[in-house]
Amino acid sequence: MIAFGQFTEVLLGGLLAGFLYSLVALGFVLIFKASGVFNFAQGAMVLLAGLALVRSLDFLVAKGFPYWIAVVIALLFAAAIMALTAWVIERFVLGPLVNQDGLTLFMATIGATFIIEGAAQMAFGSDVYPLRLFPTDAIFMFENTFPGGILVNKLDLWGAAIAAVLVAGLAVFFQYTKTGRALRAVADDHAAAQSVGIPISWIWFVVWLVAGLVALVAATVWGTKLSVQFSITFLALKALPVLIIGGFTSVPGAVIGGLLIGAGEKIAEAYLGPYIGGGIEYWFAYVLALLVLLVRPQGMFGERIIERV
Amino acid sequence: MLYREVGQFKTTYAADMAMFPIRQDRVALWLVLLVAFVGIPMLSANQIWPFGSDYLLRAILMPFLILALAAIGVNILVGYCGQISLGSGAFMAIGAYSAYKFGTGVSFPLPFAGFDVSIPPLPMLFSILLGGLMAAFVGILFGIPSLRIKGLYLAVATLAAQFFFDWVFIRVKWFTNYTPSGSVNAPELNFFGFLVNSSIEKYLLCLIFVTVFAFIAKNLVRGNLGRQWRAIRDMDIAAELMGIRPLYAKLTAFAVSSFIVGVAGALWAFIYLGSWEPLAFSIDRSFQLLFMVIIGGLGSILGSFLGAAFILILPIMLDQVPHALGVPISVETVSHLVFIVTGSLICYLLIVEPHGFAQLWSTAKEKLRLWPYPY
Amino acid sequence: MRAPSGGEIASGEVLLAVENISLSFGGIKALSNVSFDIRKGEVRAIIGPNGAGKTSMLNVVNGFYHPDEGRITYRRQTRHRMKPYEAAASGIARTFQNVALFKGMSTLDNIMTGRTLKMRKGVLSQMIYWGASQKEEIEHREFVERIIDFLEIEHIRKAPVGKLPYGLQKRVELGRALAMEPELLLLDEPMAGMNLEEKLDMCRFILTVKDSFNTTIALIEHDMGVVMDLSDRVVVLDHGQKIADGTPAEVQGNKAVIDAYLGVAH
């Protein structure tokens, strides 16, 4: 039973960490669904949101504001920054690139990544800033089922809950609102969507704003976990394999992909790590994604593409 | 009217298909080669400005040449064959560590066979070329998915290569000959008895490598294989219906590209760095190379040089110019500015001139051809 | 070489025969049970309303789609499941409904890709270029120049094809297919979107190809005038099924064909 308890602990830890990956992956899915753009800048947006949040929070607290008021103001400030970013990206980067092919847009978002990373650090500093929005202590669960129970971090539970709420909200947004339908039309074909009168620049602004807000949410959780620092941008890279497995267009897929990767890498680290040297987490997700691609080139949940000439 | 090709009639297809069909281009190329091979060494030998110290050679020209070589490799894959790669750093690392192993002697225990495979240290030139071959081999392996995977999905496959090999060279001590710190020193640069020591010798060595590979690359991209690569890039389905085998075209692109990148990696480690850690070939290096190619010009050998020059000179300019103007800015701010300027330039070029500096250059030549008349 | 006359074609040797071909995409039937043959030296038109399965049929012949059922016989041999490049190697060339040129390359390079299968020099020789590879390149350049002369596109030889007008792009595409020296040439709407003058030029090219290169041609075309003038025999598809097959005159009078094009009164 002890071995099984250990396994469950690793698995649960992995699944909860997976929810955190899903939080970042969600932002990608949103933008991809709405514009067909694979947004490499999502990780940089998490960094920007985190820095705006933590720096304004520290500033307000130092000025003597009560903590919770400071948190609310700081969140609003960070949201405003994300709105500004969304506008700038739409206006100056993506707007002029309407109707270009996916790879060009992808490379443009790599460019945007560097602009955001540079600007964010120049404006808000480039140190490590701790953020304390959620409790981070560990608790024991299932003490009746397993001897000694299972060690779980409260922060991971918060992350899972937030991810669940976001997914539900976004699913409703895409399926049932007029804007959501317009978003899907734009993703399918820019020119066709424009021709039926969908205001593409407004739609893109909205979607980048929503993605920015998702990045802000991700930043609150990740910032609490790792502190707000530059290495948070590598999350963007971790979200890539999540998307390969979950599919670029599926909101639930992003969650499932995140869970699979989170659980997979923790289990691999715990059970394979001792044999081939630690640090497997560093590459496990990518190699897993590569293997998935070899079997199903369109990703786990992607639709088969019928090519035409 | 400086750049006028009127009157340069070609009477044979050979002349029309020459590497540089226009006389002015040929003259310019010979001049550049003359300056690079004769002029700079002479200035340097006599310590004439700007070669008074070897700073320019060591800190600018050498990295420029090596990274331009790597950029040529990346350009073959990304610019000519249209297969995006975010893992070029890993292939540089493979070239560097393989060359290191071949240069210091390979010993591979085979416990089940009861003996060790050992190869004595190989001559430097062979080690470097074998490093390139190993990179080409791994490049082919990671290129195989490209037959089924396209676009962004392929980017993930190359990222897998990047992170996997980062990890391998940190964790598998065999590659670093079990040095405790994980950092390794290049063996002495002995080319068949000739020891390459001084900055000018190292510079010339890099120059020879770059010149040879640039010519090879140019020959490949204008020939049959290069046409196959470009056909796959522009319209893969039509290419296959023309009888181009995607397997052959893509894997040769991966092989040639990785070979050149691998050789560049070996040069970077042996000649520029001297001693190095796995971090020298991280994902940042991959992005740097990709940016050089985008900025310089996708699908242009000249562009690889322009891009490498720009990416290397930008941080120096951002550091020096404000100082010269009396506005001292911190090192950190410079690095952030480099990020912003590079990113903005990428976006700008993608919007305005997807073929980068190289295209701006040919547009300028087009204008010069008619100058001073507008039409 | 002289083109075979109508009588010779009627009894001529069959180059390609498709028998009982069926093809579906996830439940949607693109082709069901289609059979017809193409004889050496003829112009065989495939016509039908939009969505009839004409392009799918060419894709099957090309090896780009694999039929669910049926048999293809080419040069008297039953063909196994093959890749598009194998079909190309066996002498089948193709142009496309929506121009599929290599947009980043010049006219010359586009047509030179058609010579890929004929070029033998290895990678090492190409690296050095001077010598064997250069000789080979020049040989093929000469061949390609003859095609360029024939199609009257000398002036755009070095122009990037992406910037050419549509009519010229179609012509370059024909040149690229001709560079393969095909035995069977599949033309998918070679005259779509052209004005009358361009159409006349294209007809002239197609007839010359047939007559002087002795190439067998399968042609999809919507312009009935062109079809009636150019083709020796016509097969008509509708909703993935063959509804008529015969000489232009026979097909023109066929009731099923008239119904398919004009609709049936219910």
Nearest-CA distance C59 → chain B (Å): 10
- How much of chain B, in percent, has pLDDT values that exceed 70? 98
Whether residue A293 and residue B84 make contact (CB cut-off 8 A), yes or no, is no
Tens digit of each residue's pLDDT (9 = 90 or more) over C148-184: 999 999 999 988 898 899 989 999 999 999 999 999 9
Nearest-CA distance B32 → chain A (Å): 32
pLDDT given at position A156: 81
Q: Name which of A117, A248, A283 is nearest B164 (Cβ-Cβ).
A: A283
- In a domain, residue A72? The reply is yes
- In a domain, residue A309? The reply is no
With a CB-CB cutoff of 8 Å, which residues 249-308 of chain A face chain C? 306-308
pLDDT given at position C146: 94
Tens digit of each residue's pLDDT (9 = 90 or more) over A247-263: 777 777 888 888 889 88
Higher-pLDDT residue of A280, A53: A53
Q: Name which of A110, A237, A307 is nearest B346 (Cβ-Cβ).
A: A110
Q: Name which of B14, B216, B243 is nearest C134 (Cβ-Cβ).
A: B14
The band of A6, judged by pLDDT with boundaries at 50, 70 and 90, is confident
Whether residue A286 and residue B345 make contact (CB cut-off 8 A), yes or no, is no
Instruction: With H, G, I as helix, E, B as strand and everything else as coil, classify residue C22.
Output: strand
The whole-number average pLDDT for the span B243-250 is 92
Higher-pLDDT residue of C33, A225: C33
CATH topology of domain C1-91+182-266: Rossmann fold (3.40.50)
pLDDT at residue B211 tops 60 = yes
Tens digit of each residue's pLDDT (9 = 90 or more) over C198-253: 999 999 999 999 988 889 999 999 888 889 889 999 999 999 999 999 999 899 88
CATH of the domain at B127: 1.10.3470
Task: Count CA atoms within 13 Å of residue B265 on its CB side.
Answer: 40
Listed ranges A296-305, B147-156, B221-230; the one with the highest mean pLDDT: B221-230
Q: In terms of Cα–Cα distance, which of C73, C65, C1, C4 is closest to C36?
A: C73
Whether residue C101 and residue B238 make contact (CB cut-off 8 A), yes or no, is yes
- Spatial contact of B286 and B293, defined as CB atoms under 8 Å apart: no
Neighbours of B, requiring at least 3 CB pairs below 8 Å, are A, C
- In a domain, residue A184? The reply is yes
pLDDT given at position C2: 46
pLDDT given at position A302: 62
For residue A64, count CB atoms less than 10 angstroms from its CB and return exposed for 0-12, middle for 13-18, buried for 19 or more. exposed
Residue B341: φ, ψ to 5°: -65, -45
Q: Name which of B82, B84, B167 is nearest A279 (Cβ-Cβ).
A: B167
Residue A248, amino acid:
F
CATH of the domain at A164: 1.10.3470
pLDDT at residue B375 tops 70 = no
For residue B108, count CB atoms less than 10 angstroms from its CB and return exposed for 0-12, middle for 13-18, buried for 19 or more. exposed
Whether residue C59 and residue A306 make contact (CB cut-off 8 A), yes or no, is no
**ipTM for the complex?**
0.90
Tens digit of each residue's pLDDT (9 = 90 or more) over C76-126: 889 888 889 999 999 999 999 888 999 889 999 999 999 999 998 888 899
- Spatial contact of B257 and B77, defined as CB atoms under 8 Å apart: yes
pLDDT given at position B257: 97
- In a domain, residue B21? The reply is no
The band of B341, judged by pLDDT with boundaries at 50, 70 and 90, is very high
Which residues in chain C have their CB less than 8 angstroms from residue B243's CB?
85, 88-89, 116-117, 180
pLDDT given at position A148: 63
Domains of chain C by residue range: 1-91+182-266, 103-176
* Closest chain B residue by Cα to residue A37: B152
Tens digit of each residue's pLDDT (9 = 90 or more) over A131-179: 888 877 777 766 666 666 677 778 888 888 888 888 788 878 777 887 7
Whether residue C100 and residue A306 make contact (CB cut-off 8 A), yes or no, is no
Write the CA distances from B311 to B343, B359, C77, C145, C211, integer angstroms. 11, 17, 58, 42, 58
pLDDT given at position A48: 95
Higher-pLDDT residue of C262, A43: A43
Q: In terms of Cα–Cα distance, which of A223, A206, A265, A180 is closest to A83?
A: A206
- How much of chain A, in percent, has pLDDT values that exceed 90? 18
- State the SS3 of chain B: CCCCCCCCCCCCHHHHCCCCCCHHHHHHHHHHHHHHHHHHHHHHHCCCCCCCCCHHHHHHHHHHHHHHHHHHHHHHHHHHCCCCCCCHHHHHHHHHHHHHHHHHCEEEEECCCCEEEEECCCCHHHHHHHHHHHHHHHHHHHHHHHHCCCCHHHHHHHHHHHHHHHHHHHHCHHHHCCCCCCCEECCCCEECCEECCCHHHHHHHHHHHHHHHHHHHHHHHHCHHHHHHHHHHHCHHHHHHCCCCHHHHHHHHHHHHHHHHHHHHHHHHHHHHCEECHHHHCHHHHHHHHHHHHHHCCCCHHHHHHHHHHHHHHHHHHHHHHHHCCCCCCHHHHHHHHHHHHHHHHHHHHHHCCCHHHHHHHHHHHHHHHCCCCC
Q: Name which of A306, A307, A309 is nearest C96 (Cβ-Cβ).
A: A309
Whether residue B227 and residue C129 make contact (CB cut-off 8 A), yes or no, is no
pLDDT given at position B356: 80
Out of A58-67, A90-99, B226-235, pick the least confident. Answer: A90-99
ω into residue B246 within 30 of 0, thus cis?
no
Listed ranges A196-205, A220-229, B147-156, C7-16; the one with the highest mean pLDDT: A220-229
Alpha-helical segments (H) within C179-244? 196-213, 224-230
Spacing of C-alpha B257 from chain mean position:
9
Interchain CB contacts (distance < 8 Å): B and C? 104
Nearest-CA distance C5 → chain A (Å): 33
Question: What's the mean pLDDT when you consider all of chain C?
Answer: 89
pLDDT given at position B31: 94
For residue A144, count CB atoms less than 10 angstroms from its CB and return exposed for 0-12, middle for 13-18, buried for 19 or more. exposed
Q: Could you list the residue range(s) of the whole structural domain that residue B240 is in?
A: 58-370
Q: Name which of B151, B283, B347 is nearest A112 (Cβ-Cβ).
A: B347
The band of C1, judged by pLDDT with boundaries at 50, 70 and 90, is very low
Whether residue A309 and residue C25 make contact (CB cut-off 8 A), yes or no, is no
Residue in the structure block whose two tokens are 């969908």: A198
With a CB-CB cutoff of 8 Å, which residues 240-269 of chain A face chain B? 240-241, 244, 248
The band of A101, judged by pLDDT with boundaries at 50, 70 and 90, is confident
- A95 close contact with B: CB closer than 8 A: no
pLDDT at residue B230 tops 60 = yes
pLDDT given at position A199: 78
pLDDT given at position C20: 93
Tens digit of each residue's pLDDT (9 = 90 or more) over B265-315: 999 999 999 999 888 899 989 999 999 998 898 899 999 999 999 999 988
- In a domain, residue B129? The reply is yes
DSSP 8-state symbol, C154:
G
Tens digit of each residue's pLDDT (9 = 90 or more) over B149-179: 777 778 888 888 999 999 999 888 888 888 8
- In a domain, residue A305? The reply is no
The whole-number average pLDDT for the span A114-125 is 93
**Domain tally, chain B:** 1
Whether residue B230 and residue C176 make contact (CB cut-off 8 A), yes or no, is no
B167: tokens are: 């990890």
* Closest chain C residue by Cα to residue A309: C96
- In a domain, residue A183? The reply is yes
Out of B64-68, B123-127, B331-335, pick the least confident. Answer: B331-335
The whole-number average pLDDT for the span B323-327 is 82
pLDDT given at position C9: 54
Say how far apart CA B158 and CA B135 lie, in whole Å. Answer: 13
pLDDT given at position B304: 95
Whether residue A294 and residue B294 make contact (CB cut-off 8 A), yes or no, is no
Say how far apart CA B282 and CA B267 lie, in whole Å. Answer: 16
Which residues in chain C have their CB less than 8 angstroms from residue A309's CB?
55, 59, 64, 96-98, 100
Say how far apart CA B211 and CA A103 lie, in whole Å. Answer: 31
Nearest-CA distance C152 → chain A (Å): 27
pLDDT given at position B2: 62
Which residues in chain B have their CB less than 8 angstroms from residue C111's CB?
none
pLDDT given at position A120: 94
**Domain tally, chain A:** 1
The band of C257, judged by pLDDT with boundaries at 50, 70 and 90, is confident
- In a domain, residue B2? The reply is no
Higher-pLDDT residue of B262, C28: B262
Nearest-CA distance A272 → chain B (Å): 14
The band of C10, judged by pLDDT with boundaries at 50, 70 and 90, is low
Nearest-CA distance A293 → chain C (Å): 22
Q: Could you list the residue range(s) of the whole structural domain that residue A113 is in?
A: 2-295
C56: tokens are: 């799918």
pLDDT given at position A1: 44
